[in-house]
Structures are given as C-alpha cells and as structure tokens.
Chain A
Amino acid sequence: MVKKNKRDGSTSRAKAEDVFDSEDYLLAQTITLLRQRLSQSRLPPCLSGCDEERRLLADLVQRTVSSGESNSVLVIGPRGAGKSMIVKSVLQDIEESGKGNLKQNAMIVRLNGLLQTDDRIALKEITRQLQLENTVGDRVFGSFSENLQFLLEALKSGDQASKPIVFVLEEFDMFAQHRGQTLLYNLFDVSQSAQSPICVIGVTCRYDVVELLEKRVKSRFSHRQIHIFNNITFTDYSSLCVSYLSLDDSFPSQQFASKWNSHVKEVVEGPTVKDVLSRQFSLSKDTSVICGLKPDHPNLTPSDFVESFHRMSTDSKSSVLHGISILELCLIISMKHLTDIYSGEPFNFEMVYSEYLKFAQRRSSVQVFDKAVVLKAFEHLIALELIRPMDGGNTRVQKEYRLMSLQLHATQIMDSLQKYPNCPTDVKYWASSSFT
C-alpha cells in the first residue's frame, strides 16, 4: 500500500527527524495500519450513510436474539456498496451491546455461496459451526430436512430451552443455484414455523434474486428486502477517501497523527488528486475501488495518485497489442478492414491471408511471409484471445476456414498503432485507409 518512492519517503522522513526520533517507527506503524484498513479485513473507520437500513437490520436481528422471533431478510445492493460491512457491523454492535450477549444467547452461522457449493457441504459446515459433530456422530439421515431438524433439536436439548441462530448467507444467489434449493427451503421453512427461532440474512448483489427461487421456496420467504445503494456524492467520496487514509485517536502519537491527517487532507484536496478522484468517481461509484486505488499508494504525493489511477485505467488490450510482432499487427489490421468491409461479419484465416497478401505484395518494403508462418501468427492471436472462434471450438472445420470475430475495437487498434515502437509508415498508412 504505501509505496514509498524515494522522494516522498525522504520528505516525510526529513520532517520526521526534526520532531521525533522514533518517527520511522511511527511511519511503519502507519503503514501497517493503513494496509490493514485497505485490505478490507477490518471495518472501515467510519460508516457513512445507510443509517436507515442499518437500523432496520439491527432491529430484525435484535428481535430474533432477544425475543426469539424468526425472520428472513435479503440485503441487496451493488458490489462494493457495503452490504457485508453493514451486516458485519450490525452483528458486532449487537454482540457488544451487553443486553443480549450474542455469544451466550444466540449463535451465528456464516455461509458463503463460494465455499459451500452444494447443500451437503453446507449442512456439514452448519454442523461444524454449531459444534454438533459429536452429537451427530455416525448417524444416518433419511433426508436433508430430517438432518437439519435434528441439528436444531440438538441445540434445544442442551441446557438452554432454545437458542436463536442467525444464518448469514453471503453470495445468496449461488445458494439458489443448488439442486432443489433444499437448504433455502428448509431454512425458510423453519423460519416460518414456530420451531426454533432463526434469522436468515441473505446477502447478494442480484436484484432479481427472488425470481431465482422456486415457488415453494419463495412462498416461505418473508419478502423482506433491504436495498442498499451507494448514492454517495463526490464530496462524500473524497471525504471517505480522507477518512480511509487518516489516523484515528488510538494511534500512539497524537502529534504525528494530526500532522499526518492534515497532510493527507491537504494532498487529497489538491487539484491533481481531486481530478483523479473525480475521474475515478465518474467511472464507478464502487467504494471498494478506492481501496484498490490506494493499496499501492497512500504515497501522499499527487503524482502517486495519478500514477495509480493511470495504472488502474490503462486499457489492457492496447497494451497487449503493443507487444505483438509487426506480422501479427498486419493481420490485426487486415481483420479490421475485413470487419469494416463486411460490417461485422465473421472472417476466416484465408480471407485475412489474402487481405494481407494484397497489402504485402504491393509494398516492396514489406516482407511477405510464408503461409505457414502467417498461420502460426494467427494462432498466436487466437491464444491471446484477441480473436475468437464463432463456433464452440470442437466443430470439424479446418482451421483456415474457421470463422472468427475480432475482439478489438477500431479505436483500440488505432491507439496502439500510435504507440507501437518503430511502426513502419506504410503499415500505419494502410491501417488508416481501408482502400487496398
């Protein structure tokens, strides 16, 4: 995260030496702290917005935990809007507010659609998280619901009458793709009937997720949805940015912290950084992107922001084009012409080759390569996925005649031609004029 290139490393250090001997130490602390913060493993320093949604969710969970009501709810919002963060902070709050000590009064089961890829694994994971492996032992169950019932019963038969369970299902949409949606059906079913109190919180970024549910599953769902939007303004965005980079009160040296903070503020409000941030902002409102922006640089010089933005926004295809050989470039250009002439119709190698020959034979300066070598270059382009076969790939068509489509836009090609090192002028000219 802190990419300290020589310049800003030395400036901040120069400052340091006047003030403190252990400045270096503090700086290292800062780096560690910021790294932690940006890598999403901790809650952000301040939660902005979404107060209403937070309150709603907290209320629901609270009711399950304290009064044993069953609930089900979906938290829906675009990626990076802070869904998981809100859920996490709500659970943390409830845990901390001494009233319903979550550890004692309720249990949390965290599932993730990426990890539990089918219901059998999910059930195993639930057993594990409820610490019931011993109780289950080698018992064989007839059905999924029997198993789940047993688990819930087992919880009951303990010392407490019934312990509320909070299920958090991240990537909820992936659970909906399991066969028969058994897990979801059973969870919602339990949450409907007055068995043991459970609260099912589904977190997803798909707005149509309810449509994915089968009818019998859908009817058991409470249809409570919490939508989270990241409708933050640019001012919010940049202040969020500052808050991410600032040190808080718990930092050992107040003096250093305040100095650092004012420095950060100064930098972020500088014109260049502001420009970068606003461009990033207009590209996406995704807040996790700023984390991406800065992992490598809270370097605290405007140029570092610019550089990192530049790196994030470079068009990777153009840079791939930069590295291909002149021959391959010629092929790309002839494909571009073919796509222009036939208005987006697919082409095959023979067409490209004859187009290339038309060009190469006219200019004495361009060396004409053997068909086999050209075919090899063509295959390299396929391997780079700059062109893609139209069919599935296992059809029995000779590869010279396989229909392909170009995956690049004309502007990308022209851009990279400008940047291409020592590009022959007639190739450039050929690219810009489609008449051959």
Chain B
Amino acid sequence: MESMEGKGTTDQQPVCHCWGHDSALVNYLRQQIRCRDPQIDLLLSLFGERTHLTPASIFLYGHTATGKTYMVSMILSTLQLPAVSVNCVECYSSRFLFEYILNNLPGRDDAAVSVTCDNMNDFVRLLKQGVSSQNLQDQTLYIVLDRAERLREMDINILPALLRMQELTGLNICTLFLSEIVWEKFQYGTAFCDPVVVYMPDYTQEELMQIMLLDCPSSQSEDLYRNYVSLFLSVFYRVCRDLRELRHMALLNFPKYTEPVEKGEASEKDMRKLWRNIEPHLKKALQTVYLREVSSAQWEEMQRSQVSEDEAGPATATPFPPVDQSRFPPGTRAPAANTLPLHVTGRLLLEAGVPRLITGAAPTIGNIAPGGTPALATLPGATHPRTPGVPHAHATTPHAIPADDAVRSEELVGPCLSASLLSGKLDKYRLPGTFCPSLRLSIPVELPYYSKYLLVAAYLASYNPVVSDKRFFCKNAGKISRRSKLIKKHERASNHLLGPKPFPMDRLLAIFYSIIEDKIAPSACIFSQITSLVSLHLLGQTCADSQIDMPRYKCLVSLDFIRSVARTIGFDVMKYLYDFI
C-alpha cells in the first residue's frame, strides 16, 4: 500500500492520485474517455482502493450520449474491479434482475448451474453466498444498473433495497445507478437513503468537436474533416446536442461535402465553395434530425436521385402536391422506369372503390396483407386495388425503398395506407401524430369518393362546436347575434389547439348529407365506409364496441391533410371551419 501511495506522489502527471491502481492504467483511462477528467477523478476517489469501503450507492445522471455507461464500464473493466452490469431494460422484472446479477457475479463459472431467485430476501442471501464463494469479501463489488429509471416500475421495495445493499448484506457493495432522469424523480415512499449524486455535464461545442474528429475517415485529411465538422456543428448544434445523432448525421453528409474535391471542382482549402455546396444539403438534413424516417441507405439514395433530378429539371418541392391527377406530372418526380399510368389506375380505383368496399374490407384484406409491404415496395405498379394510396405513394416519393429494409419501408409506406396498415395488424392505435411527420415525405391518400366526403364531415364534426352546426348547414341560418360573434372571437382557433372532439354517428351523417350534393340513400355502403375509415385510422372510435347503436368517433387527421382531401372533391373546407371564419 505504501509503495502504491508513493507512486501517486512521484508521478508528476496531471493524475492526482491513483488509489492503488497502476497509474499507467489510469492515464490510459483518461486518454480513452475524452473530456471527462473531473468525473473520472471523482468516481475514482469515491471508489477508493480495491479494499476500501465505498459509499453504498452512487447515482450518475446526465443527458443521452454523455458517456455515462461508457465511462463506468471503462473504469471497471480497465482497472479490473469486480463488477456486474445490468441493463434495466433487459431485466424488466425483479426476478430477471436478481437472477442476472447472481448468475453473472465476477469469477463465476459459466458452466455452473444457474441460480433461481425471485425475491429480495433470497437475493441478499444468495449474494452473500456467491460473494464468499468467489472470495470477494474484501474487495468492493460494484453493481451497475443502467437505465435505472426502469427500476421505478418494479416492486416498491426494489429500489430502496438496492440503494442500501451495503447495509442489508453487510458486504462491501457499491450500487451505481445510471439514468437520464434527475434523482428527485426517483423518490417516493419512506424507505430511501440518498445516494451520492454525480452529474455528467453535457459536452460543450469544442468538446463535441474534439470527439467527432475521432471519426475522421482514414481516406480524408484531418484538416478537411475538421473544417467540415466545425461547419456542421455551426448548423446542427442548436437543434441537437446528442453526440450519437450528430456523429451519425455528420458521417452521412460528409461524402457530399467532399464531392467537389473529388470531382476536382474545388480544392480542400476552398472553404467558401465547399460551404456553398453543402449548405442546402445540411439544411435539408436539419429537417430530418432525430426523425430517421429514412434509413441511411435511403438517405444516400435520395441524395443521388436528387442529383439526377436536378439535372433533369427543377423539381416542384411543395410538401403537399395536389392530388388532382391531371396536375400530377408522372415523369418528373417518379423514378421513370417504375411509373405506370398512375392517373389511370387512380381513377379506376376511385370508381372501383365504392362497390368493392361494401363487401367488408377487413377479412379479405387480411388475407392479402401478410408480407405485402416489401412486395409493395418493390412492385409499385402492381398493387392490389384495395390499397389505393400506395402506387401514388411510391411514385411521388423521390426515393426508392429498398426491398430488404422492410421495417423502414413499412414506416414509410405506413402513413400512405400501406397494406400492413390496412390489414389491421398494427395493434396500436395509430395516431396521425405518428404519421403526420412522414406525410411531409409522402402523399395524399387516395380514397373512394364518398369516403372523402365522410372524412371531411367527420373533420367538421370534430372541430366545430355543436352549436355552430345550425349556422353552417341550415338553409335559414338566421342572423348571427353580436354576442355570439364576440364569444367566438374570444376563443379563436382554440379548437384546433385543443384537438378533435368525439361526435356521435348521427351528427356525422347529418353533416355528410348536407355537404354532399348527390342524393344517396343511407345504405350499407356508407356505413361500411365509416368502418373502413376507422380501420385505416383516419377516424378513431372513442366508445366501447358494445355500444353498437350509437357509436362515437373522432377525426384523427390533420388540417393540412383534410385540406388536400377537400381540394380533390372541390370542397372549401376552410369556409366551414368555425375556427377560421
């Protein structure tokens, strides 16, 4: 011990004290873990020497990608301290947690019979046994619990007991909790003893740069990459502090940056030119930060296809291209080879849709759907007539969907009424919030004629107050009193902020018949279209299935969506919305 202490002093490193560890190792740690010196020192001092008693529990918190897990696991593995690391997402029940820790005690033979344990009492007993059989009594045993916020969902005694493991077992145990959430959010009940709280501060811009430089591709010079990263950070730093996301985006866009250099149009020093080249791409990438609507492969594909598009002619970049088929230019935006005469199919569908849907959508579609999505992605023309939106979806999307990337393509096509969505196998209530973002990339839905009217009627019913119906849909609405005008002004636009309200089917049908010009009977045809709108998750049913006589619905689509749908049937929806008049 004496000699080790001596080492700490004689070393004139910035290292203050090595706590009995090899100072070379400690220096190695500092090199490996960038920009985290104070935190390493603090943790090492809390840990102390191998045999020292440590604080019973340490709580380490900080934002995503600030190196919490990395730092702790590096320290423990480099210094070869006895430790068990558990991810609380994996071990989601107390039983898994206990068994994982017991079966992974350091030094434990892999071949040994796995321990079963389902309560805290046995856990403590078995832990004591395990520790003494591995001769770890005199060393500190570290139990690392990553994503510790999940522990709150377990039994009420787990978290407090883990906090005072040292006291309960009488062993030298230190529990480390890693989380993104502050400690205050963990406390409830009485049985808590406070851990030592350590904060991992976020990286500053300089530190981010320093770390991101490590990613520099070997084929490029570091100066070039440095310039690029500083440009990149100046754009992205404001939206995103997540190192992982930043690194991903930086690497994704780097080939674009070096393109002029490779083509010989600009030198590496010509920063201005390079900036002008990359700027639009970064701006575009900025809109997709975090979203990951497209996989990186797709993103590259997109960039490539855009180049060819630029050469072909300027693209119209409206986020919601009109659905009107005659205005849709088949050649410009779609990958040319795949284009079928879409407007033809579209119209056919439009006419075919109504009678076909009467036969009851769900069961038949269910038979077709399994495995349908990837197929749809590869064969954009040959879609089943029941998925009217998809051919459009594919053709207008400026990038092709690789067939292997099934999950991605489902996500992408999903919003455009992919087969999987139709099949109703998405168990979750798919809210427009989950797909509104993607609508930016995608396309308005092609629906049967009456369904469009039904959808518009549902939207009006959801966002207009009941009292305003008389005014919009009666022939003799009468004068609007001054008072009601005043009231209206007061609560202007509030309905669109508060979200859709549920409405009974009566009201939906009443509005539907008043906005549609043709005379149609309330046949099964109309009712089944309501059901299929629900199964498409454009409407949501808000009451239980048992209330068959008067179901209540809610319109789940956004304003932009309904406007584009209304445009296709030549209906000015804005004139009928209470919030906008």
Contact = CB atoms under 8 A, between A and B. Distances in A.
Interface of A: 1-6, 9-10, 13, 22, 24-25, 27-28, 31-32, 35-36, 38-41, 79, 112-117, 121, 124-125, 171, 173-174, 205-206, 288-289, 292, 295-296, 311-312, 314, 316-317, 319-320, 322-327, 348, 350-351, 354, 367, 369-373, 375-377, 380, 383-385, 396-401, 421-422
A400 B48 CA distance: 49
B498 interface: yes
B199 A396 contact: no
Interface stretch (B76-84, B162-170, B416-424): B162-170
A316 B184 contact: yes
A296 B46 contact: yes
B212 interface: no
A398 to B, nearest CB: 4
A163 B444 CA distance: 83
Contacts, number: 212
Contact of A400 (B288, B429, B433): B433
Contacts of B196: 292, 295-296
B241 A324 contact: yes
A292 B46 contact: no
Nearest to A40: B167
Interface in B446-501: 493, 496-500
A213 B263 CA distance: 82
30 contacts: A1-B52, A1-B53, A2-B48, A5-B41, A9-B17, A10-B9, A13-B9, A25-B2, A25-B5, A27-B5, A31-B48, A31-B52, A35-B52, A39-B56, A41-B167, A79-B192, A114-B157, A114-B161, A125-B121, A174-B157, A292-B196, A295-B46, A296-B45, A296-B196, A325-B237, A350-B497, A372-B436, A373-B291, A400-B499, A421-B204
B261 interface: no
A316 B166 contact: no
A327 B290 CA distance: 13
A117 B119 CA distance: 8
Question: Nearest 10 A-B pairs (CB), nearest first?
Answer: A401-B499, A372-B437, A323-B202, A3-B45, A316-B182, A114-B161, A323-B63, A39-B53, A326-B238, A398-B431
Nearest to A312: B197
A148 to B, nearest CB: 17
Contacts of A113: 157, 191
- Please classify how large the interface on chain B is, using the bins under 10, 10 to 19, 20 to 34, 35 or more: 35 or more
B168 A114 contact: yes
A22 B5 CA distance: 11
Contact of A25 (B1, B48, B56, B194): B1
Contact of B193 (A288, A367, A372, A384): A288
A322 B201 contact: yes
Interface of B: 1-2, 5-6, 8-9, 16-17, 41-42, 45-46, 48, 51-56, 61-63, 66, 119-122, 124, 155, 157, 160-161, 164, 166-168, 170, 180-185, 190-194, 196-199, 201-202, 204-205, 237-241, 286-291, 429, 431-434, 436-438, 440, 493, 496-500, 540, 542, 556
Contacts of B191: 113-114, 171, 174
A73 to B, nearest CB: 20
A124 B125 CA distance: 12
Given A3-B45, A121-B119, A398 B190 contact: no
A279 B556 CA distance: 54
Nearest to B441: A372
B539 to A, nearest CB: 12
B297 to A, nearest CB: 21
B157 A323 contact: no
B53 A35 contact: yes
A397 B499 contact: yes
A38 B56 CA distance: 10
Nearest to A314: B199
Contact of A6 (B16, B120, B160): B16
B497 A348 contact: yes
Given A324-B241, A348-B497, A376 B290 contact: yes
A164 to B, nearest CB: 24
A121 to B, nearest CB: 5
A125 B167 CA distance: 17
Given A295-B46, A373-B290, A399-B434, 5 more contacts: A4-B16, A36-B53, A317-B182, A371-B436, A401-B498
A322 B498 CA distance: 31
